Amino acid sequence: MPELSVIVPTLKPRDEIESVTRLESGSFDDDDYEVLVQREDSATKARNAGIRRASAEKLVFLDDDSLPTDGYLERVSDLLDCESVVTGRIVHPRDDVIKRFTTHYDQGPEPRYVTRFWGCNAACRREVFEEVGMWDENITWGHEEKELADRMLTRHPIYYDPELTVVHPYADSVRDYWRKQYKLELQTPYLWEKEGVPRSQQYFRTLQIVANPMNYVGFSPKHAVVRAGSNLMQFAGRVVGMRRR
């Protein structure tokens, strides 16, 4: 039985998956891990299918464009000997305007317990899913990590190790960034309903996005334009998401 099961949701052919190529070039023994490439129509369905297929008790989640750094598998395996849920640092690879919007990726230089993780760099023991349930498949993409992290925290702490690092672009372009903000906010009304947020409060929070003038301030003209566009796409996504509920 392998030590680790690495689960990668993707629609790409296996030989085009960057994360798999990077893992295969590492020093972790091939017999000690398996890679499960899942091609379902959403990330949450793919991750759940991978969990059901997995042979190992230690489960690792990467995106198809997550590039683990040297020693990643060794590090995550050691961490899961002591911790139930772990996450690590995520590095946006380019010094572009998008980097300004990725501060949530890096949770600091010190190991500590945190309240959030992202699916491009996360791991846990199988028993956690047996206790709190699987990924919520009603969330196709966006906020699924937050929803799952909140459930995990009722039973298990989430340990952050800055040395458990992957390189992962948050977005490939400004247009891609705006598209992701729209898709993310499509899911927000569903999450609010699960949390019991009243409908009136949902409308108020949605209007705040476009009504708050501080949401249009940037570090540079380009940053301000990207941020303004992001706010408009978030607003549109929430409105459409609320109309679907």
The number of angstroms, rounded, from the C-alpha of 49 to the middle of its chain's C-alpha atoms is 17
pLDDT band at 24, cuts 50/70/90? Answer: confident
**How large is the average pLDDT for residues 165-187?**
95
pLDDT band at 50, cuts 50/70/90? Answer: very high
pTM over the 0.85 mark = yes
Q: Is a pLDDT exceeding 90 seen at residue 104?
A: no
pLDDT per position as a tens digit, 120-144? 999 999 999 999 999 999 998 889 9
Q: With beta carbons less than 8 A apart as the criterion, state whether 194 and 139 touch.
A: no
pLDDT band at 26, cuts 50/70/90? Answer: confident
Q: Is a pLDDT exceeding 90 seen at residue 119?
A: yes
| Strands (DSSP E) found in 102-157 | 112-114, 122-125
Q: With beta carbons less than 8 A apart as the criterion, state whether 195 and 146 touch.
A: no
The number of angstroms, rounded, from the C-alpha of 113 to the middle of its chain's C-alpha atoms is 17
